[in-house]
Amino acid sequence: MKITGIKDTLTAKIDMLVGVWEGSVIDIETTGLNPASDEIVTLGFIEDNKLQIIQRTSRDKAEYYNELKEIVINLKAPFYAYNGSFEKRFLHAQLGIEKEFVDVFSPWRIMAESKGQKWPKLDDLVSEPEMYLGLPRITGRECPILWKNYLQTMDRELLTPIMEHNKSDILRTLFLLIQYPELYEKPGKLI
């Protein structure tokens, strides 16, 4: 993944052979779970066949948020996201943006509940080669820790794993949309 830096952000762009038939796949990384007090530090999305990740590099969120607002407002809706209510709440609380979402997690939650199983994490549904081979990888829980360490050291190398994690989540969400289109073609109630 080629990463370029401009002002207060790092950006990665990938032209893919596959894409999204309508709307956009999105994923965010944050400093925590509370949309009222925690902040967005990474936004990744797929629109058409373009994957893009925008990583914040500054302590101050103002310029980064202005950039995100312009991007998010112009992305094609609906937004497909795994546990989309999380992204929806953060985009509303932090950026003041309301968009239609299709929660890619929802049918899997319903199926798990009907079988008396725990709700599946994205890792449970679509694993990564790193998991199989026991290679290093980070989880969403580690992103806030890496961000905090970055703020203490300003070592941009700490941001690459956050961006890689975001890319993985976006691509695995896209996989679910491609592999199981019948679950998402008629989303019914958008969140």
Q: How does pLDDT run across 118-138, given as a tens digit for each residue?
A: 999 999 999 998 988 998 889
Residue 188 lies in a domain: no
Composition of the chain by helix, strand, coil, percent to 5 = 45, 20, 35
At 8, is the pLDDT very low, low, confident or very high (cuts 50, 70, 90)? confident
- Alpha-carbon distance 191 to 180, whole Å? 19
Residue 191 lies in a domain: no
Residue 88 lies in a domain: yes
Residue 190 lies in a domain: no
Residue 175 lies in a domain: yes
**Residue 186, pLDDT score:** 60
Residue 166 pLDDT > 90: yes
Residue 60 lies in a domain: yes
Domain with 158 in it:
3-183
Q: How many domains does one find in the chain?
A: 1
- Alpha-carbon distance 157 to 94, whole Å? 26
Query: 168: domain CATH number?
Result: 3.30.420
Q: Cβ neighbours of residue 55 under 8 Å, at least 6 residues apart?
A: 3, 9, 10, 11, 12, 41, 42, 159, 162, 163
Q: Cβ neighbours of residue 139 under 8 Å, at least 6 residues apart?
A: 123, 165
**Residue 110, pLDDT score:** 95
| E-only strand ranges, the chain | 3-6, 9-15, 24-30, 40-47, 50-56, 79-81, 101-103
- Alpha-carbon distance 191 to 177, whole Å? 17
* Residue, of 97 and 3, whose pLDDT is higher: 97
- 17-67 confidence digits (pLDDT tens): 999 979 999 999 999 999 999 999 999 999 999 999 999 999 999 999 999
Q: What is the mean pLDDT of the chain?
A: 93
